[in-house]
Amino acid sequence: MKITFIPITKVSFFLYLAGAALLAFAWFDQWQQLYLVSDTLRAQLFIISIIIIAIAAIVNLTTFIFSNYLGLNKPHNKNNPSDDR
């Protein structure tokens, strides 16, 4: 079994990037004790980044399910035995 992580849409890719950047900033600021932002804002950035990553995952999964349901990823080979009914 091969597992790949490929965002299906550009929207989910950019949401993953934005969420990862916010998460990295919140974590790095706390870890290095830079205190660029307050503790409250850092916690809010962390929660917002988790929400953005979750939205990206939902968009990614939804487009994958709809593309499989609508048959957009099926091969167009007419000799495919799985298409015989």
Residue 61 vs residue 84, higher pLDDT: 61
* Mean of per-residue pLDDT scores for the chain: 84
- How many domains does the chain fold into? 1
> Does residue 1 belong to any structural domain of this protein?
no
The whole-number pLDDT of residue 82 equals 60
> Does residue 63 belong to any structural domain of this protein?
yes
What is the pTM assigned to this prediction?
0.72
> Does residue 64 belong to any structural domain of this protein?
yes
Q: What is the mean pLDDT of residues 19-41?
A: 91
Q: What is the mean pLDDT of residues 52-65?
A: 92
Helix (H, G, I), strand (E, B), or coil: what is residue 36?
Answer: coil
> Does residue 11 belong to any structural domain of this protein?
no
Nearest to 39 by CA among 51, 29, 49, 24: 29
> Does residue 74 belong to any structural domain of this protein?
no
